[in-house]
Structure 1
Amino acid sequence: MRVIRQQPTTSATALSLPSRRDLLKWGVAAGAALGLVGCGSDETGSQGQGGSATPRRGGTLTIAQPTEANPAQALNQNIANQSWRRAVYDCLVDFDPERREVVEGLATAWETSADGKQVVLTLRDGVTWHSGRPFGADDVEFAIDNAINSTPSFQLAWAFQNLQGIDKAGNTVTLAFSEPATSIYDALSLLTIIDRESHDAFVDGTAHVGTGPFVWGDFAPGTNITLRRNENYWLPDRPYLDGMEVRFITRSEALVSAVRSEQVDMGLNLLPLDRGTVEQDGRFDVVAYNTYGAALYVGANVEVEPLNRKEVRQAINYAIDRQRINDELYQGQGKVSAAPWSPTSPAYDEGWAEAYSRDLDRARSLLASAGAIDQVIAVEANAAQSRAAEIVAFNLSEIGLETDIQILEPAVITERFQNRSFAGLYLAFHGWNTLSPVNVVYSAAPLRVDNNLFRFASDEYARLAGELATAVEDDQHAAIEALTEFILDEAFCLDAVHTSNNVVTQQDVHGWAYNVWDEMLFADAWKS
C-alpha cells in the first residue's frame, strides 16, 4: 500500500500572484506536467505505479463513486460528474494542479496582449468529434456563446462579461475584451467544448458527443455509465483502455467493500475514516489530492438577530475550534483556514488562514460589547455535516451563546438556497478556491458579491471584487489584500477546513490523472 500525499508548492508565508507574464511563461511548459502526453508517474496529477513501465493496451477500467452521475449537468463542474466529464469532453487548456501551469488541450498555443484585452488561441489540427465531424474555430465560438447564454449559466461565465467579440481565422481564435481578462485561462480550463450539432441532447443528458478519449456509451440511472475507446482520438495511440464503467455505490461501506473484493478498480471520494481502513490493507494505493478544493464554511445570515452585528460574527469565528473539526472529521488530513483561498491558490497566506485562531477571551469580549450574551442562534447543516454543527454549537456555548441545531432535509436545503433564508448559521462546502481568487467572489454561492446565500450586500465588497477582476501584475497584490481583509473583517462567511479528495485504486492501475478542478483524466490510464 502506498499513500501519496501531495503537498502544494505555493509558499505558506508569501503571497505570489501570477502575472500576465506568468501566464505566457506557463505556455512553455505545455503538456509537460499533467500526464496528458506521458505515461504514469507518481508526480502530482499522474497516478499509479506506471513509472518507466511500458503502458499496456486493452481492458476496461471500473470505477465506483458514492454519488449518481448527472448527465444533464455536464456544462458545469460538479462532484457527480468528475469521473467521466473529461473522459468524453476536452477543454481548450488545462491547469497542472501542482505547478499551476497552463497546459495544452484543444489549444496548442495561447497569447495575451500587453494590455490583457486580447487573447489569441491556436487550435489543434486533426481533431474530430465522436460523430466524425472535424473540430474547428466555429465550435469554440459556439461553446463560449452557449456558456454565456445557457440556463443555468456556465459557472465561470462572468470571466466573459467584458467579451466584445470573437474573430476566427483558420485555426486561430481571437477573443477581444473591453477590460483586462485576468481570469480567462481559469474559464477556458473548465469550459466544456460541446458539439453544436447535438446540443439539445447535451442539455437533457441523453447523449454526449465530445472530442475526448472516450465515447459516450450508456447511462443506466441508479446503476452506471459506460464509455468506450475513441478510436480516432487526436493524441497518438491513446487511450490505452478499451473502455470505462462508472458504477454508483452510494453506501460508503459498500464502496470500500467493492474495492477490497476487487469488483472495481477504483473507489472515489472516500470518507476519511474509510481511507484509514483501506490504508491498513497493503493491496491498494491511496491517493490524496493536493488541491484542497473543497472548503467547509460557516456562513451567517446577516439579516437575522444577532448575526446582523459584525462583532457577533467575529466572536463566533474566534470561538470555532477549526483544528478539532479537522482532527475529528477529517483525521487531520485537511488544512485549517478562515480565509477562502486553498493552500494551492496564488492568494493563500498563512497569516490570513490563521486570522481567527481560537481565542475564547476575545470572543467573549466581542460578544459582550455587542450585547449578545445568552442569545439563541440556529446552527443548520445537512446530515453529512451534523458532527461539525455539533462542534460549532459546543464552541458557541463556551462563549455564552445558546444554540438550536437543525439538521435539514435536502428539500429544505434547496428551499433555503433558492430563497437565501437560512435561520442563522449554516455549514456546508464551497469550491472555486484553487486558482484566481476572484473566482470565489463571483462563482461561490456563499461568498459571491451578488445575491450570496447569506444576504450580505456591500458597495465596498462589489468595488473590491471589481478591482481584483481587472487588476494586472503588481496591482493584483494590493487588490487581493484589500479584498481578503474585507472578507475576514465582515465575517459573514468564513472557512473552517479545506479538504481534498481521497481515491483508492488497485495496484495494477496506472497513469490516471486529475486537474486543478479535481476532474479525472484517463487518456494515459492503463492496467497491467
Structure 2
Amino acid sequence: MTEPHPSPSPHPSRRSTLRATGAGALLLGLGLTGCRSAVSASSYRAGDDSGPRRGGTVSVAINSDFTPSLLFSQSSQPLQNRLLFNTLTRYDDALKPHPELATSWTYAKDGRSVTLKLRDDVTYHDGRRFTADDVIFAVRNLQDPQRAAQLRATAAAITDFEKRGDHELVLKLAHPVTNLFDLFEFMIIPDRHTVEQAVTGKTLNGTGPFRLKKWSPGSALSLIRNDRYFKPGRPYLDAVELRVIPQAEALISSLRSGQSHLSYQVPGKSIRTVRDNPDLVVTTYDTGAGASYLGVNTTIAPFDDKTVRQALAWSVDRDRILKQSLGGYGLASAAPWPKSSPAYTEANRTHYTYDPAKARRLLKSAGHSRLTAPLLHLNSPESTAIAEAVQYDLQQAGVRVTLQPTDPATAQKKLISQDMPALWTMDHGFAQVQPATLAVSAYPFNEAKNTSKYRSEHYTKVVREAWTAAGAGTARQHALEQHVSDVLLDEAFIIDLVVQGSVQVASSKLHGVTLNKFMYLNLDDAYLV
C-alpha cells in the first residue's frame, strides 16, 4: 500500500468553537467525535479579515511543570513536545496519517516493512541537517527501557533499518502491527548528539518551530521562534511561555485578566466562570484528554479477587462524577474508548452502571461486608474532586478508603514502577488512537507489565492478536478489539469512569491552535490579533 504525499496536507477542519453565552448547555450534551482542531489557521472571528499576523508572545498556563526525565513518555504535561520537536507523521480526525518529517510511505505486501521518504530541507535548532540517521536513533531511543516510553513495544517491533541515502529509510518489522502510525505520531525526533542533556532539561535541540530560551524549574518554560524552521514563514509567533500556575483559581484569573492566552487545565466544573467572558473562547477536544479511572492493585488481597473488583466497578456513579467533578465535559463510560474509537460500542460503555446494591451483594458473595483501603490521587482540584466522589460511592457499598494526595511527578513515577497502593485514581491516554495501542503501551493496561500487576495468558493472547492483525479486514479487526474490551471489563483491574473531553480556554485574540492525538500543542499557524 502506498500513501503518496508530496507536500504537507491541509490543516484539520475547523470544529465547533463555543463562545460563551448559552454555550454551556451545548457543551454538556456534546458526544465524543474525534475532534482535534480547536481553531484552524484559516478561521477568523467575525469581522476579522486581517489574516495571520507576525509577532507576539503567547502565554500558556499549565498546572504542572515540564518534567524532562519524562520527555519520551506520555506525561501529564506534553504540550511542549511539538513546539520543540517534530514527528514523522500526524493524524487527522479519522486516524489517517499525513506528512510531517516523512513525506510518503510504502508498506510491503506482507506488512513486514515500510519505506519512508523524508524531508531533505530540515535542520535542527543548532543548524545540523536532519537525516535518516535521526529517525533510526529516535526508534532505538524509544526501545531503550530507561526512556519509559509507553510505545516501546511498537518501537521494538522494528528490528532493522535499511538506509537508501540520507532521506529514504526502510523500517523492517518482526511482524505486522496495527499501530505503527501511532508510533510515528508519538515519537518526537530528538538530536541524537544531545539526548542525554535533553532528559535533564539542559538542551532541547529539535527541528520544531520554537527553540529553548530558558527553563526555570517550577516556574516557566520559555521558547523563542526558530528562524530555521522548514515551513516557509512559520511560525508567526515570536515566542511561547509555558507558565506554571498550580492553583486553579490563579490559573483562571490569569486567563480572565489576559496574562495568559491559552490553557487546557481549567477544571471542567470551573468552565462556567470563564465561558461568559467575551474575551475568552471555550473549545472542546473530544479525544485528547484521555479518561479518568480507578486502578486496582491485583496483588493486594482481597483485590486479587475479580468479584471484589467487579463490585467496585458497580459501586461508582459515573454520571454524577461527570456532572459534579468534571462539569459535564466528557462521557460517562465503563470502557476506555471515546466515541471516535473503532473499539467503541454503547454496550461496552454501559457494561457497568451505578448499582450499589449489586456491589454489596458481590462483596458478600466474596466473603466481605466491610473493606478498607488507601486511595492515591493527584493533588489537584479536579483529581481530588474525582477521588472524593469515588470515596463516597465506595463507602456506600461498604468499602472505606483513605485519600492519599500525591504530586503529579511522584504519581507518574509510581505508575511506571508499579508501586501503587491498593487503589488509585488517575487519567490514562492511548484510547484515542488505534485500539491495540492501549493494551500494548499504556502503563495501566500493558499486557506484559501493567501498574495493576495483572497477568493473564488469555489477556496477552487477545492483545497480541489485535496488535498484529494488520490487514486482517475491518470485521475481523473489530472482533479482535472487542475481545480486548471483554477482558478489560470482566477482569476490572482498571475501572474506567469518564472519557474526558479536553477543554481549551483561549483568548479571543489567539487563532490557529491545534493539538495532536497525544496532546502535543501545535502553534505552527498560530497568531495573535
**Structure 1 residues 40 and 423, CA, compared in 2 at 3 Å: closer, same or farther?**
closer
Establish whether residue 134 from structure 1 lines up as the match of residue 129 from structure 2.
yes
* Equivalent residues in 2 for 1:127-166, closer than 5 Å: 127-149=122-144, 151-166=146-161
Deviation at 1:416, TM superposition (A): 5.4
Deviation at 1:331, TM superposition (A): 1.0
Distance of 2:222 and 2:438 partners within structure 1: 34
Asked whether the 8 Å contact 1:45–1:513 carries over to 2, the reply is yes
Establish whether residue 464 from structure 1 lines up as the match of residue 442 from structure 2.
no
1:330 corresponds in structure 2 to: 326
**Structure 1 residues 398 and 247, CA, compared in 2 at 3 Å: closer, same or farther?**
closer
1:80 corresponds in structure 2 to: 77
Distance of 2:158 and 2:134 partners within structure 1: 17
1:381 corresponds in structure 2 to: 377
**Structure 1 residues 41 and 169, CA, compared in 2 at 3 Å: closer, same or farther?**
farther
Distance of 1:391 and 1:197 partners within structure 2: 48
Deviation at 1:116, TM superposition (A): 1.3
Deviation at 1:415, TM superposition (A): 8.1
1:56 pairs, out of 53, 62, 67, with 53
Deviation at 1:162, TM superposition (A): 2.6
Letter paired with 1:50 = Y
2:401 corresponds in structure 1 to: 404
Asked whether the 8 Å contact 1:446–1:493 carries over to 2, the reply is yes
Distance of 2:88 and 2:175 partners within structure 1: 22
Deviation at 1:129, TM superposition (A): 1.4
Deviation at 1:93, TM superposition (A): 0.5
2:491 corresponds in structure 1 to: 490
**Structure 1 residues 216 and 329, CA, compared in 2 at 3 Å: closer, same or farther?**
same
Distance of 1:227 and 1:30 partners within structure 2: 24
**Structure 1 residues 444 and 164, CA, compared in 2 at 3 Å: closer, same or farther?**
closer
**Structure 1 residues 89 and 463, CA, compared in 2 at 3 Å: closer, same or farther?**
same
2:253 corresponds in structure 1 to: 257
Distance of 2:459 and 2:406 partners within structure 1: 32
RMSD: 2.6
Asked whether the 8 Å contact 2:38–2:284 carries over to 1, the reply is no
User: What is the TM-score with the length of structure 1 in the denominator?
Assistant: 0.88
Q: Deviations over 1:131-158 (max 9, x none)?
A: 1122111111122122212612432121
Structure 2, unaligned stretches of length 5 or more? 18-34
Letter paired with 1:394 = Y
| Secondary structure of the structure 2 residue equivalent to 1:347 | coil
Distance of 2:243 and 2:384 partners within structure 1: 27
Letter paired with 1:526 = Y
Aligned residues with identical type, % of pairs? 30
1:451 corresponds in structure 2 to: 449
Establish whether residue 321 from structure 1 lines up as the match of residue 322 from structure 2.
no
User: What is the TM-score with the length of structure 2 in the denominator?
Assistant: 0.88
Q: Deviations over 1:76-126 (max 9, x none)?
A: 3323241x2211111111112x22221111011112222211111110121
Asked whether the 8 Å contact 1:445–1:453 carries over to 2, the reply is yes
Asked whether the 8 Å contact 2:5–2:104 carries over to 1, the reply is yes
Asked whether the 8 Å contact 1:40–1:510 carries over to 2, the reply is no
1:118 corresponds in structure 2 to: 113
**Structure 1 residues 228 and 419, CA, compared in 2 at 3 Å: closer, same or farther?**
closer
| Secondary structure of the structure 2 residue equivalent to 1:204 | coil
Establish whether residue 368 from structure 1 lines up as the match of residue 346 from structure 2.
no
1:67 corresponds in structure 2 to: 64
1:190 corresponds in structure 2 to: 186
Deviation at 1:75, TM superposition (A): 2.4
1:32 corresponds in structure 2 to: 10
Deviation at 1:165, TM superposition (A): 1.0
2:233 pairs, out of 232, 237, 242, with 237
How many residue pairs end up in the alignment?
Answer: 500
2:279 corresponds in structure 1 to: 283
2:480 corresponds in structure 1 to: 479
Letter paired with 2:236 = Y
| Secondary structure of the structure 2 residue equivalent to 1:122 | strand
| Secondary structure of the structure 2 residue equivalent to 1:197 | coil
